[in-house]
Structure 1
């Protein structure tokens, strides 16, 4: 199923979502929540066996069978929308290796370039401006968006929590693509997708995760963000 075009109602359950880095914490949490919402999910990894092992774990956790695992290339090829939830250190290499498979697809980049030292988390400089802008440069024929940076992986993965109470800022230059991504955010109970501007504004959203990590460590919580004065 292709992503809807302008003017069509967006039903996220008609989409297949691939999760690159689906064996990591953020990818796991989003894969679980989307699958529980009735969305077909493909877990991607460099090792197909590892991906399928994770998919089996997620099927057991959600009680649904529309989660499969496979190599990253299979994940990118078969999905309508692809989430990049890979470590920053392998971001460029992973996406470059999937340039052909990601042509024409909507890519959601949720990678946070963050470092840690004895003072705590801090944002890393990115030559292209942001991780999302790096993806845009590496994938000129892909519809790149940025979202899901500031959602707690712990809360997403805890299926005993019926809702995840936060907003998700969705950034991108392709309005149809950002509408699809907002619908995927809305599919998670308690989450609201909010258009947050052009892709050039992704860096500060990526950096905000360092602040949230510091808050979480200080107050022993799993903080997210909420945008006020919206219906």
Structure 2
């Protein structure tokens, strides 16, 4: 049980994944805090020089460390921890907070918090969920979060590596270059020098096509509902499905008018 007794681990698991009102309130404030942290991460390049920046940075590091320990304990097994990409990514974000001077140039990795939040069970249990639910909003949100995360990751990378060269004189310039490259517009007023700059530009354009295509697919894809088949367990079905397409069992999926 990862060095934690069964009772505290069960309590933590109930807070993070339970259905009680207390769990719902906990997750609500957890998501709200994550959103505030993401806002701080995005604004960090602009306010980095202020006196209070390091204080907030340390406070966020403490909060994320406590939350990460609690979530690891709630998973209940080392295998679940190792197999969770969210734990690994949050750990990487935490390292940039604990060692801001040594890993300052890797601060752009904090944008991964957008991806870890929107792809977490806590987030979707907080804003929706139930025994059955429409997955359309979830799929579109995850695709949009992946695109947004990529934008801020690349913007931070360009800002950290190419600041002061070829038109990149601030964070907005780095964001402008990222968006124009991502959309393959390429006005040419901001460019990255050298072979490394060209390779990064190519990677941004190729990734942009892929991510925009994925977002478009999520938008136009037929809507699905999450309703586990009582016989085979298949989770996703068409909204108007009467039979499970895997085993043929009869389904009783509630419609919008069902209570």
Normalized against structure 2, the TM-score is what? Answer: 0.26
More strand by share: 1
Question: TM-score scaled by structure 1?
Answer: 0.28
Structure in which a larger fraction of residues adopt helix: 2
